[in-house]
Amino acid sequence: MHRQSLRIVVGLGNPGETYTDTRHNAGFLAVDQLARGFGIPLERKKFDAVYGRGAIEGVDVIVAKPMAFMNRSGHPVKNLSNYFKISIKDMLVIHDDIDLAFGRLKIKEKGGAGGHKGIRSIMDAFGGGEFTRLRIGIGRAAPEISVTHHVLGSFHAEEKQLLDQIIERTQDAVVTILCQGATKGMNRFNDRRIIANC
């Protein structure tokens, strides 16, 4: 990512009250925290997305949440990026990941979808995966619980006690990526510590 460029930070989730506190909406939770933390109101609506424009530690950013459902996130993100003339390489996407233990974060500069339908939709819309991802670990459920039920379910009480810390740490990771680059972010946040030990 280039320091002088306008960036876009996208959080993935599903719209509507039904999904507000679900694990699949971890990306929305992170973007909401960024908006609060840096005084960027998410009040504008365009291309089936809500967004705000402001600065994060001096970096000019668009912070956005696509309002299409998760598996149709790509077109709102693509249209918003085209409108503001933002390169795919200046995009950071925050999303949940069942393959990471709860409380872990992982930054990746590019790659495949890893089974995540929101990431797949964005890759299809842009024609590639040359964007940075910040993955929030939600862990896997017990074998008797389906993946769908797990990701669309609410956080357990014990998870909720740590959720604020996780989202705050996610904000720190975003700041590091924007200001110092993805490699610095990976060195700092891509470890195996669970949030309780941070």
- pTM confidence score: 0.91
State residue 158's pLDDT score: 84
pLDDT of 134 > 70? The answer is yes
Known catalytic membership, residue 24: yes
d(CA 93, CA 134): 6
Per residue in 61-90, pLDDT (tens digit) is 999 999 999 999 999 999 999 999 999 999
Q: Residue 2: pLDDT band by 50, 70, 90 thresholds?
A: very low
pLDDT of 108 > 60? The answer is yes
Enter the tokens of residue 174.
């975003």
Query: Which long-range contacts (C-beta less than 8 Å, at least 24 apart) are formed by 109-115?
Result: 109/182, 109/183, 109/186
d(CA 174, CA 34): 9
In terms of Cβ atoms closer than 10 Å to its own Cβ (0-12, 13-18, 19+), residue 112 is exposed
Per residue in 7-55, pLDDT (tens digit) is 999 999 999 888 888 888 999 999 999 999 999 999 999 999 999 999 9
State residue 145's pLDDT score: 78
Lowest mean pLDDT among 75-84, 100-109, 133-142, 172-181: 133-142
State residue 3's pLDDT score: 47
Q: Stretch 127-131: mean pLDDT, rounded? A: 94
Lowest mean pLDDT among 8-17, 147-156, 166-175: 147-156
DSSP output for 89-135:
GGEEEEEEETTS-TT-EEEESS---TT-HHHHHHHHHHTS--SEEEE
Residue for token pair 């998410």: 42
Out of 2, 24, 116, 150, which one is annotated catalytic?
24
